[in-house]
Amino acid sequence: MLLDPIFSDAIIFASLLALLSIGLTLTYLTTRVPNFAHASFATIGVYIALITSQIWNASPYFAIPISFVISGLVAVSLYLFILKPLIRKGASYAIQMIATLAFDLIVIALLNISADYIIRTYQVLSREFTLRSYDEQFLGLPLLVFVAPITIAILAISLHVIMKKTKFGIAMRASTANSDLAETVGINVKLVYCVSWLLGGGIAGIAGALMSLWFLGDPNLGPQLIPSVFAASIVGGFFSIYGAIAGGILVGLTEVLGTRFLAGEFGAWLIAYRPLVPLIFIVVTLFLAPKGIAGINWSKLRKIWH
Amino acid sequence: MALEPEVIFLVDLLAIFAIYVIVNLSLNMEFGYTGIPNFGKVLAVGAGAFVAASIPGRIFANIAGIEGDYITENLVIVSQINLWLVDNVGIGFAVFFLTLGVAGIVGGGLGLVTSYPAIRLRGDYLAITLLAFGESIRIIGNNFTPLVGGTLGVQVPDPLSFLPNELRFPIATIGLVSIAAAVYLYSEKMMRSPLGRMMKAIRDNEIVAASLGKDTAKIRIKVIIVSAGLAAIGGALYAFYVGGTIAFAYDRASWTFWPFLMILIGGLANNKGVLVGTLIFVVLRKVIIYFKDSFEGYVPFDVVWLDFLLLGGILLAVLLYRPQGIFPQKPTHTVSNGIAWYRKWF
């Protein structure tokens, strides 16, 4: 072993939070609704990885493209059939948030039903399962330790190119900055939003497929993860994809390494309070720097420093 | 004489209904009438339950002179207390009402804490902050054992232990329903008062309300404190009713999301809607669990997931096709108008 397993844990968790946070930010940019169902899109990916590896006997890495498509389509259906009509009727953000919660309930129920079905039909463990043994080894470490950060890098570069260089990216930036104005110049804003939701949900699906190789899979993973995902996005400023990556890495590393460090200093009882970390991040960020990392004026800070 | 299963079913249904009515009325006060998206309702409810789990038992143990560590020897101590309470009904009730009072005060105090973000933040940021506040209570309760025994939970002493077994639950239910009725009347009266009209003004247009000289921040703080106090009393009553508290039962689904669902189905800013929404929810869940065994075998999954599907679906349908709920908000008659109406007809 080259590394203490806690570092693998930290790298993987931080990368997954960054991936989920990128997706959440992409959807938040369009509809300005914090989507409670977002982490459950990742749980869909976890179950697709379970089916790929245990029932089809393929490598769980094959689940990545399938999860991208299915989670993406589920996300688009949330936007098209629920949020879009609600927005047209002038529902408040609170009602839209509750609608995403209701959608999350339905997704969780369907995931639980699938889990029951998988265990009864195929006799495959479908709750609290792990697919760690299906991962390859590379340099004495699980392959995922390398794949997860590389996925983020690929996504960040391609999203950067899409946003800055392609016609779609320009349309997307115009639609999120001022949707009325974008419509008047002939941009199909609804279509742009649909594509954003497809990408956002799809990236969550990728995160889920990767997640299955490290964490215990369970239908109720979403509600457990969502505070950390919200924290990462809020720390990142909620409007910036680069902020989302930074926020995900910061919150993820603090959750794993920070609690481990503090537990070493003050005693092992502290480990159990790890779920408080994202909540503290949320509250502190919203009070001190509500625009998050992306909103901090770095040049001004540098002036104060000198 | 043992109770018929149908009677037990009804009695339990009414008790849960009464407890949820208290919590939902308090949420309606905040969200329906004042427009504060309290996604951390579970904070106050949990606090009330934690007060009921940690305070009365220790007081009884002290008065009765029962020795031992309250958390580690909880089962033994609480069963001794329940035996002792059979002969000390008066003290039992005194401590019970004292606990409700303390729960209300602790809830109100936490309300004051939640009002700090609630007057500074708006919109989804406020909702997420309150969600974070609400989440924290379960994590602390789960890990800080002296409070409610951590993951094992604790028993709550039963002030009604002097009653024979077949009377205990019906009497408790009658008590719960009367407390819920009192909260209902209080809430109705509040909404017909000048304060109630001001709350709606703040919800509909805060700037206009402020320009008319209303101190909107103060009203928001007031509403949050009262509503949190009521929710905490609801939580304490729930702990007494089920006879125990375990931290993981105070999650955001049970005490934040279900209350939102109930008041939205019934109709926001309408207390009658709260009653109907709560009744639909409680009956639907109970019926699914009651008939669970007869479904089994027809479907290849556990039937409890049907209630998630049904309730999520019903809520989405209501939001999309009848956003005002079953009972839409109506113009309320002021109290004096009510008196005039009463004089005219009686």
Interface test with B, best of A30, A47, A105 (most B CBs within 10 A): A105
**Above pLDDT 90, what percent of chain B?**
46
CB B257 within 8 A of CB B280: no
Report pLDDT for A3: 66
> How far B262 CA sits from the closest chain A CA (Å)?
12
Structure tokens at A281: 């991040």
Whether B331 has a pLDDT exceeding 90, the answer reads no
Identify the residue whose tokens are 């220790």. Answer: B58
* Least CB–CB distance from A34: residue in B128, B139, B319: B128
> How far B337 CA sits from the closest chain A CA (Å)?
32
With CA atoms as reference, report the closest residue to A122 among A47, A220, A205, A43: A47
List the single residue in B with minimal CA-CA distance to A290: B125
Report pLDDT for B340: 61
Number of domains in chain B: 1
With CB atoms and an 8 Å threshold, state whether A94 touches B31. yes
Residue B299 lies in a domain: no
Report pLDDT for A138: 75
Report pLDDT for B55: 92
Report pLDDT for B28: 94
Report pLDDT for B230: 96
Q: What are the domain boundaries of chain A?
A: 5-305
More reliable by pLDDT, A27 or B119: A27
Structure tokens at A143: 């392959």
CB A105 within 8 A of CB A82: no
Range of the domain at B109: 5-250
- Within its chain, how far is the Cα of A31 from the centroid? 17
* Least CB–CB distance from B315: residue in A33, A102, A234: A102
Helix or strand or coil: residue A136? coil
Tell me A129's DSSP state.
B
List the single residue in B with minimal CA-CA distance to A88: B320
More reliable by pLDDT, B228 or A7: B228
> How far B75 CA sits from the closest chain A CA (Å)?
25
**ipTM for the predicted complex:** 0.86
With CB atoms and an 8 Å threshold, state whether B323 touches A279. no
Report pLDDT for B338: 58
Whether B328 has a pLDDT exceeding 90, the answer reads no
Identify the residue whose tokens are 């789990």. Answer: B53
List the single residue in A with minimal CA-CA distance to B38: A94
Residue B318 lies in a domain: no
Whether A137 has a pLDDT exceeding 80, the answer reads no
Whether B43 has a pLDDT exceeding 80, the answer reads yes
Residue B339 lies in a domain: no
CB B42 within 8 A of CB B51: no
CB A67 within 8 A of CB A208: yes
Residues in chain B within 8 Å Cβ distance of A113: 301, 305
* Residues A163-190: tens digit of each pLDDT: 888 988 899 889 888 888 988 988 888 9
What is the distance between the alpha carbons of residues B237 and B233, in angstroms, rounded to a whole number? 6
* Residues A236-290: tens digit of each pLDDT: 888 888 899 999 999 999 998 988 888 888 888 888 888 898 898 888 888 887 7
List the single residue in A with minimal CA-CA distance to B150: A272
Radius of gyration of chain A (CA): 20
CB B229 within 8 A of CB B107: yes
Angle, to 10 degrees, between the axis of helix A241-253 and the axis of helix A144-165? 160
Structure tokens at B159: 């002030």
Report pLDDT for B339: 61
List the single residue in B with minimal CA-CA distance to A291: B125
Residues in chain A within 8 Å Cβ distance of B311: 102, 105
Which residues are CB-contacts of A196 (< 8 A; sequence separation ≥ 6)?
A26, A27, A29, A30, A172
CATH topology of domain A5-305: ABC transporter involved in vitamin B12 uptake, BtuC (1.10.3470)
List the single residue in B with minimal CA-CA distance to A103: B312
* Least CB–CB distance from B257: residue in A94, A101, A275: A101
Whether A197 has a pLDDT exceeding 80, the answer reads yes
Whether B108 has a pLDDT exceeding 90, the answer reads yes
Computed over every residue of chain A, the mean pLDDT equals 88
pTM of the predicted model as reported, rounded to 2 decimal places:
0.89
Residue B312 lies in a domain: no
Number of A/B CB contacts below 8 angstroms equals: 124
Residue B292 lies in a domain: no
Whether B308 has a pLDDT exceeding 90, the answer reads no
* Residues B254-297: tens digit of each pLDDT: 899 999 999 999 888 888 999 999 999 999 888 887 777 777 76
Whether A214 has a pLDDT exceeding 70, the answer reads yes
Residues in chain A within 8 Å Cβ distance of B309: 105-106, 109-110
Integer angstrom CA distances of residue B236 from B75, B81, B148, B233, B241: 19, 18, 13, 5, 9
Residues in chain B within 8 Å Cβ distance of A290: 121, 125
Which residues are CB-contacts of B256 (< 8 A; sequence separation ≥ 6)?
B38, B39, B40, B41, B42, B131, B134
Q: Which of A63-72, A278-287, B98-107, B239-248 has the lowest mean pLDDT?
A: A278-287
Q: Which of A271-280, B232-241, B319-328 has the highest mean pLDDT?
A: B232-241
CB B22 within 8 A of CB B282: no
What is the distance between the alpha carbons of residues A41 and A47, in angstroms, rounded to a whole number? 10
Whether B1 has a pLDDT exceeding 70, the answer reads no
Amino acid at B55: I
Whether A222 has a pLDDT exceeding 80, the answer reads yes
Which uninterrupted H or E stretch holds B322?
none
* Residues B161-220: tens digit of each pLDDT: 888 878 888 999 999 999 999 999 999 999 888 888 899 999 988 899 999 888 989 999
Residue B222 lies in a domain: yes
